[in-house]
Structure 1
């Protein structure tokens, strides 16, 4: 027969006692492992010692440094072995992402041994950078600097910290650290220069980027292909074509061989400036020299062709790409889809969706937006809305273009209430409405003849700091003129010009048609002349309405 002890005989240990017991067991375990590691180190079996330590550290939770520090033998006899042990601990904590513990090991080593291994510091900085702990990386580097050469500083460590500061948007602090290094007679390497150059270009400051590049030349730091790729790409994005081409010429004169990144940056620049002939000549020249283009290189050329509407040539280029063993990716297929959409070949856009899915690629937000646009323009508004609504279910977050496209579809369908709900949904998702978002709704209310709601939206957008553009004014001018409120239309036209906005063909046409409809032919013809002087070409219908106004 089983017997059970009465409840009162059960023994419960206080929680504090349990924690104390667990701590004591961890300490005993640490002491046993440390003793074994000392034995291995004395026999110079460093790999075995490291594996044993790694296994011990893999416990969950890993023991804090404080529980191990008390077991370290600081006697003269074990000094070298203990220094090695602490170095190993420092690295293991760092690899595990336990940066506070690794810092404790570092400080323990400095206090007891007076120095630390430079390579371990570099490894720690790499781990911090990989974890995007840029502030901790800077603080650790600053601590090493303050040790006044007790721990040697490598140029690689300097480059990692500078790059981390630049990537986190701390360009000013990065520059200050850079200048401090120069004052300390510690010459940064080319990677540090490259990080600063890129940071300045990304922030729209080409002058400072050129200053750093010139400083590299002055300090006899050889700029490499990566330097010039950064300069060319950065200048191109800022629309500084002449500076980008000058950087390429400078690279050639210095005898720096371009790599595929330079090749891609130059081709992208030439395509965006509309010089496709030169872009292809450039491509052929460097392929003949043995430089292998990648998917990004082909992507720049495909994008250039699609922007020009040369879709057949773009497809031929993609066949060439595949024949060289480079597979199609979602970016290339998105570019092709966008090209066909802009050309009005919507069936091709839908066909490309099937290609993407057959290849097992995931449709991204750009693909969904293009497909929705194509479906809407094919009069399949329900499918367009379904695409935009379903992307979230497939793990793709809509962007501001997705929301704005959905707003535009609802407005064109006359469903302004639903459009307003999408606007609120967009704000809830963290996107601020743009002029494009408001323009779609303003145009929707104008087409319904509801100028009061349209003007209320104009007031709302300006109250929120969204600046009205030429499309905003054109919709309102058209609305007023259609309802015979020509004076209000003229006031808006004047206000638009007063804000420095250049009226478009549609702006002029709406205003001229409004004047002509009211029989104000002299004013209409004056505006028509202004339109021609501005280099804008009216259509035949506008001229007919002008002539007709002479007989009203």
Structure 2
């Protein structure tokens, strides 16, 4: 019931009544604490068992190992597992792990990316004649899929069927997800047929995985057909089903179809998530439908869906790219005044928009304010500001920013150098163009083809030999 504190009240009554609590008593309490993510308290209670004259059993160990894995303490869980199996822990007793114990630690290791260690325990488990069950196999298969070791995953899938372990819907979904991510849709489709033939009913998650795979491979007709067939096969659509299709339509600029799906999900009582709205905002800004995006933003608030950093970043970027920079600035101030923390991407988008409309003063103020709000400009932010200054003819100020960028340990990229190159070319500063080419050569950074063509014309015009420039000499 999630009322662990009351469980401890009962423990107190047990002790006052001169009864002796046993392993079952403490297993229940440890499980309750783990369920509430009070893992340190669960571990502390585990260490006190001997005070109550009680020894932990396999369920006690497994319960705590599960709690540790679920809260991201997988290495601690592994240490506890080894203490349990080898008898070198605080209690000094060997407590043989069972299938559930092995499965719990193997699953935790796989989710944390320690697939080799999980495989080692899986093999040890079989050596000790402890039979893996469908959950064990599924956990290891998932681990191999995450590690991009498809051959091992496939081998294990075949092995489990050979051993008479029936794959369940989760097993099939894990394999299907890996096939879909790699664009192997024909195999994924055949796997669905195999799944049904073996009497395993696909669930909504299974269909969603296939729909996503078809969308990733731009087979929208297949995706839509599968989407329609779901309900007739006894699976109801959920928000993920709709979000997947909405995302494809928005990316392909068919926003009207995406909005139609959005209306359909509302009519079915399926509540949109922040992902739904973020996707639609991106689509609307892409086709320059700013007013509709603003209306949808109001609707999002009415539906009590909280915006996240991605929402605000998209909105600021979308407004700027559509020429509504002052509106973006107004939104930015409203967000900041509400104490919502924006990230460096949000600032960069707004600085870029301000630079493009020639409002260098406000852009510079925002750039300089970054350390005060706990943010550090990245290469993209520097490039945006440098580009704005170069376009405004502020080459010395841009160069100071370039030096500041290097002093902070940020490596200028080809965008940085190309920006300076165009600025120097515009000002006909040939000597600085040559100096910059030498600096680029030392950093092994290549100017792009269009700028290179302009540089060649400039050098030829000023009767400067191309052989004197390292790049041209090397690629003569």
Length-normalised TM-score, structure 2? 0.76
1:515 Cα offset (Å): 5.4
Equivalents in 1 of 2:36, 2:180: separation in Å?
37
1:402 paired residue number: 311
Task: Find the counterpart in structure 2 of residue 292 from structure 1.
Answer: 201
Residue deviations 1:248-305, cap 9 Å, x none? Answer: 4234335344322122122222322344344334444444444332211221222222
In 2, Cα distance between the equivalents of 1:325 and 1:536?
A: 58
CA positional deviation for 1:329? 0.8
Is the 1:410–1:419 contact (alpha carbons within 8 Å) kept by the matching residues of 2?
Answer: no
**Structure 1 counterpart of 2:158:** 252
Contact 2:31/2:64 (<8 A) preserved: no
Distance 1:185 1:336, change over 3 A: same
Say if 2:256 is the partner of 1:353. Answer: no
Distance 2:452 2:380 in 1: 22
Say which of 55, 68, 72 aligns to 1:165. Answer: 68
- 1:438/1:336 CA distance change after superposition, 3 Å: same
**Structure 1 residues 253, 98: CA separation in 2 closer, same or farther (over 3 Å shift)?**
same
| CA deviations over 1:378-419 (Å, ceiling 9, x no partner) | 433233234334434433222221222233244441125314
In structure 1, runs of 5+ residues without a counterpart are: 1-92
Provide closer, same or farther for how the CA distance between residues 435 and 205 of structure 1 changes in structure 2, counting only shifts above 3 A.
farther
Once residues 384 and 122 of structure 1 are traced to their aligned partners in structure 2, the CA distance between those partners, rounded to angstroms, is: 53
Provide the residue aligned with 1:414 in structure 2: 325
Partner secondary structure for residue 98 of structure 1 = helix
1:99 correspondence with 2:10: no
Q: CA deviation at 1:447?
A: 1.0
Instruction: Indicate conservation of the 8 Å contact 2:141/2:157, yes or no.
Output: no
- Does the Cα contact within 8 Å between 1:94 and 1:102 map onto a contact in 2? no
Structure 2 CA distance for aligned equivalents of residues 535 and 289 of structure 1: 57
Give the match for residue 369 of structure 1: 278
- Bigger relative contact order, structure 1 or 2, given CA contacts below 8 A and separation 6+? 2
How far off its partner does 1:336 sit? Answer: 0.8
Matches within 5 A, 1:211-360: 211-234=120-143, 236-237=145-146, 240-242=147-149, 245-253=151-159, 255=163, 256-360=165-269
Q: Deviations over 1:466-494 (max 9, x none)?
A: 45445434423432342345677688789
| Residue 179 of structure 1 pairs with residue 82 of structure 2 | yes
Aligned to 1:68: none
- Higher CA-based Rg: 1
TM-fit CA distance, 1:346: 1.0
d(CA) in 2 for partners of 1:252, 1:274: 21
Structure 2: distance between partners of 1:483 and 1:128: 62
2-structure distance, mates of 1:425, 1:202: 39
Q: Report the CA distance between 1:103 and its aligned residue.
A: 1.4
How far, CA to CA, are the matches of 1:214 and 1:249 in structure 2?
14
Classify 1:269/1:96 alpha carbon distance in 2 versus 1 (closer, same or farther; 3 Å): closer
Does residue 1:446 correspond to 2:355, yes or no?
A: yes
- Deviation of 1:188 after TM superposition, in Å, equals 2.5
Partner of 1:155: 58
Provide closer, same or farther for how the CA distance between residues 249 and 315 of structure 1 changes in structure 2, counting only shifts above 3 A.
same
Q: Whole-Å Cα distance in 2 between the matches of residues 491 and 95 of structure 1?
A: 61
SS at match of 1:241: coil
| In 2, Cα distance between equivalents of 1:144 and 1:441 | 59
Structure 2 gaps, min length 5? 88-92, 463-476
8 Å contact 2:285–2:319 — kept in the other structure?
no
Q: Deviations over 1:353-383 (max 9, x none)?
A: 1111111111111112222223333433233
Question: Using the alignment, how far apart are the partners of 1:344 and 1:134 within structure 2?
Answer: 48
- Note closer, same or farther for the CA distance 1:193–1:386 as it changes in structure 2 (3 Å cut): farther
Judged with a 3 Å threshold, the aligned counterparts in structure 2 of structure 1 residues 293 and 519 are, in CA distance, closer, same or farther, namely: farther
Q: Is residue 2:101 matched to residue 1:192?
A: yes
> How far apart, CA to CA, are the structure 1 residues paired with 2:192 and 2:234?
18
Distance 1:453 1:370, change over 3 A: same
Q: 1:521 to 1:223 in 2, by over 3 A?
A: farther
Flag the 1:488–1:123 CA change in 2: closer, same or farther, 3 A. same
